[in-house]
A and B are shown apart, each in its own frame.
Chain A
């Protein structure tokens, strides 16, 4: 038997590749608002702040009700304790508490017949040695300009975790793409220079950098926070959407962060 061969020729395929983006309506569940705790202790102030709010529905305007009349207490493992008065709706503040390396802090929030607690230890403080700049040609991602590098010396033999906050002419760069966190796995014990690769700056810009020394819990929270939010972090982590890994118990959102801050400022020249 003679074999038949087939040739298929697509003469013309008017490929109307109109990839189209549009805003659509999606039905999302209305959920019982959850408590959100944003509690931070740093080594920079005596007035440490705890903010209490509630979550809102996703497609509603971003109005997050303040949670008042809560009983907020911070204790440390040296036997000190402070009851935080509510200075503004949902904002509770200490009057005399400065974060100290090696001290373990306990947060307790009692509200609506529930108690939420968290424990966090102040890590070793790492200071910025200096800031430098490097000129870059324009790339698809950045304009031509100067990138700021942060120099510091990582303490050897312990795990260190960092976050960088960058202020451009006094304004914090604060979108999810501006979130820079690092651990020291690949540079433990080294003098390092970390390029703050979120933006290039121009001559005469004033750039302030804060180096936050985090403990592992706070680092994990930030790491899963930007991974789960709808920012560019999502693309790179490419995993599964989930709430950030929090150190607060009983299902509250938010975190109890305890960190040191070292800052330096540079004027681009």
Chain B
């Protein structure tokens, strides 16, 4: 058995205040402070002698922020909220910091004591949003926000072992800076029976990280030498319709979005979809009250498969069949979709308590959504290669009893 673990541990101190100056003005302010402990990885094996147990040093950081925001009703029609947040991220010891040359070799290392400051980052994060009521039925909203994110999510692009890794900012990894602009139009129909909205957004992201080609990342204390740095962008349109009242209610949402990145070292510097790019995302939720006791529900979700790297060709080196890759994230996992259905039976309300039974089926039509796809040689005919899908949770019925008192 080999166990591989990694994680983050946080202590969070948080305080928020609200101050109502008058009916038209509300002031909010607060601060928070998080002490992070990052455990990049630990490998332990009871298969004695073959794999050395290995722990990579923990990393420590303090993330703190203070903010204020002012909600200001300019008129009955125009409402503005603006604010400013200042966030700070301090990488602290104990720890050893390496610097690398372009061949990923360590050229220098500095050792820090417990509590000693290794690196400090601080950013102002302005934000503003305004909503304007056009008439009784419709309104528009516009917003801008800048965010600094000090912890990066690093996703690999292999379809066979999907892995996400959280990496803190450091002397080498700079914080992600994200500027987002969004515009929305909201309108109600049929005496507010239907709520609809259209929203578009654009995000600009600086200091993105990804694996360099051939990166060796797991349990590598030099993980930072295996990264490339670039920028990202995301944009999309969200359509939403909700029926709020009646025997049948629910909503339909559709999002078209792209999340793309560019790195000089990958795909010749061209923009390519990140793993999180879902392109099309649909969710349909319906609830139907059959009578006082029975409620039926159904949910259908669909999204385009994650962007992944599949081999396009193959060749032989030293008697081994080697996959030939073309573009990073040039392929897609199969589309993901699933129907969940349920029925709830509400028992007669008692004086002291109420209770209900819920019967549900997850993935009702047993869609084999791919968790992973492995490319391998056929066991019987090694000249042939094949793709093997692993699907989890094909159909899961369950019964739940809810009890409130």
Question: Which A residues are closer than 8 A to B by beta carbons?
Answer: 4-26, 28-29, 31, 33-34, 36, 38, 53-59, 61-64, 136, 139-141, 172, 174-176, 179, 195, 197, 223-225, 227-231, 234-245, 253-255
Question: Which B residues are closer than 8 A to A by beta carbons?
Answer: 1, 47-50, 156-158, 160-161, 163, 210-211, 213-218, 226, 309-326, 328, 330-331, 334, 368, 370, 373-377, 382-405
Residue in A6, A28, A31, A64 whose CB lies within 8 Å of B402? A6
Contact at A242–B325, with CB atoms within 8 Å?
Answer: yes
Residue in B309, B387, B392 whose CB lies within 8 Å of A240? B309
23 A-B residue pairings within 8 Å (CB atoms): A5-B404, A7-B404, A7-B405, A10-B399, A19-B391, A22-B368, A26-B310, A26-B373, A28-B312, A34-B313, A54-B315, A59-B385, A61-B383, A141-B47, A195-B49, A224-B213, A225-B320, A228-B325, A236-B218, A237-B218, A240-B213, A242-B213, A253-B317
Task: Give every chain B residue within 8 A of A254 (Cβ-Cβ).
Answer: 315, 317
Task: Give every chain A residue within 8 A of B392 (Cβ-Cβ).
Answer: 17, 19
Residue in A9, A239, A243 whose CB lies within 8 Å of B216? A239
A24 to chain B, nearest CB (A): 5
Contact at A176–B397, with CB atoms within 8 Å?
Answer: no
Task: Give every chain B residue within 8 A of A20 (Cβ-Cβ).
Answer: 368, 390-391, 394
Task: Give every chain A residue within 8 A of B331 (Cβ-Cβ).
Answer: 26, 28
Given contacts A8-B400, A241-B158, contact A21 B390 (CB under 8 A): yes
**How far is A28 from B330 in the complex, measured between Cα atoms in Å?**
10
**How far is A5 from B353 in the complex, measured between Cα atoms in Å?**
10
Contact at B316–A64, with CB atoms within 8 Å?
Answer: yes
Contact at A240–B313, with CB atoms within 8 Å?
Answer: no
Contact at A62–B318, with CB atoms within 8 Å?
Answer: no
Contact at B319–A230, with CB atoms within 8 Å?
Answer: no
**How far is A245 from B400 in the complex, measured between Cα atoms in Å?**
54
Residue of B nearest to A236 (CB): B218
Contact at B214–A244, with CB atoms within 8 Å?
Answer: yes
Task: List 12 extra interface pairs beyond A57-B312, A239-B215, CB under 8 A.
Answer: A23-B389, A26-B373, A34-B313, A64-B316, A141-B50, A174-B320, A197-B50, A230-B374, A239-B158, A240-B309, A241-B323, A242-B215
Task: Give every chain A residue within 8 A of B163 (Cβ-Cβ).
Answer: 238
Residue in A16, A140, A235 whose CB lies within 8 Å of B1? A140
Task: Give every chain B residue within 8 A of A14 (Cβ-Cβ).
Answer: 396-398
Residue in A59, A228, A234 whose CB lies within 8 Å of B386? A59
**How far is A234 from B123 in the complex, measured between Cα atoms in Å?**
39
Contact at A53–B399, with CB atoms within 8 Å?
Answer: no
Task: Give every chain B residue within 8 A of A7 (Cβ-Cβ).
Answer: 402-405
Task: Give every chain A residue within 8 A of B382 (Cβ-Cβ).
Answer: 62
Contact at B324–A31, with CB atoms within 8 Å?
Answer: yes
Given contacts A56-B315, A229-B320, contact A62 B310 (CB under 8 A): no
Given contacts A7-B403, A64-B315, contact A240 B157 (CB under 8 A): yes
Given contacts A8-B402, A229-B320, contact A56 B388 (CB under 8 A): no
Residue of A nearest to B308 (CB): A241
A236 to chain B, nearest CB (A): 6
Given contacts A16-B396, A28-B331, A31-B313, contact A240 B158 (CB under 8 A): yes
Given contacts A11-B401, A28-B331, A58-B375, contact A241 B320 (CB under 8 A): no
Residue of B nearest to A229 (CB): B322
Residue in B213, B215, B384 whose CB lies within 8 Å of A243? B213
Contact at B317–A36, with CB atoms within 8 Å?
Answer: yes
**How far is A21 from B310 in the complex, measured between Cα atoms in Å?**
18
Task: Give every chain A residue within 8 A of B325 (Cβ-Cβ).
Answer: 228, 241-243
Contact at B309–A23, with CB atoms within 8 Å?
Answer: no
Task: Give every chain B residue within 8 A of A23 (Cβ-Cβ).
Answer: 386-389
Residue of B nearest to A31 (CB): B312
B222 to chain A, nearest CB (A): 11
Contact at B161–A238, with CB atoms within 8 Å?
Answer: yes
**How far is A7 from B356 in the complex, measured between Cα atoms in Å?**
11
Residue of B nearest to A27 (CB): B331
Interface centre among B312, B334, B390 (most CB of A within 10 A): B312
Residue in B161, B316, B400 whose CB lies within 8 Å of A11? B400
Given contacts A21-B388, A34-B313, A55-B324, contact A238 B217 (CB under 8 A): yes
Task: Give every chain A residue within 8 A of B218 (Cβ-Cβ).
Answer: 236-239
Task: Give every chain B residue within 8 A of A237 (Cβ-Cβ).
Answer: 215-218
Given contacts A14-B396, A238-B163, contact A230 B389 (CB under 8 A): no
**How far is A71 from B324 in the complex, measured between Cα atoms in Å?**
25
Contact at B328–A242, with CB atoms within 8 Å?
Answer: yes
**How far is A164 from B248 in the complex, measured between Cα atoms in Å?**
69
Contact at A58–B385, with CB atoms within 8 Å?
Answer: yes
Task: Give every chain B residue within 8 A of A10 (Cβ-Cβ).
Answer: 398-401
Residue in A15, A195, A224, A243 whose CB lies within 8 Å of B396? A15
Task: Give every chain B residue within 8 A of A140 (Cβ-Cβ).
Answer: 1, 47
Contact at A230–B376, with CB atoms within 8 Å?
Answer: yes
**How far is A86 from B147 in the complex, measured between Cα atoms in Å?**
62
Interface centre among B213, B328, B395, B405 (most CB of A within 10 A): B213
Contact at A13–B396, with CB atoms within 8 Å?
Answer: yes
**How far is A166 from B94 in the complex, measured between Cα atoms in Å?**
43
Task: Give every chain B residue within 8 A of A242 (Cβ-Cβ).
Answer: 213-215, 309, 325, 328
**How far is A88 from B107 in the complex, measured between Cα atoms in Å?**
47
Residue in B158, B313, B334, B400 whose CB lies within 8 Å of A58? B313
Residue of A nearest to B387 (CB): A26
Given contacts A29-B312, A61-B384, contact A244 B322 (CB under 8 A): yes
The 4 closest A-B pairs by CB, nearest first: A242-B213, A224-B214, A62-B383, A13-B398
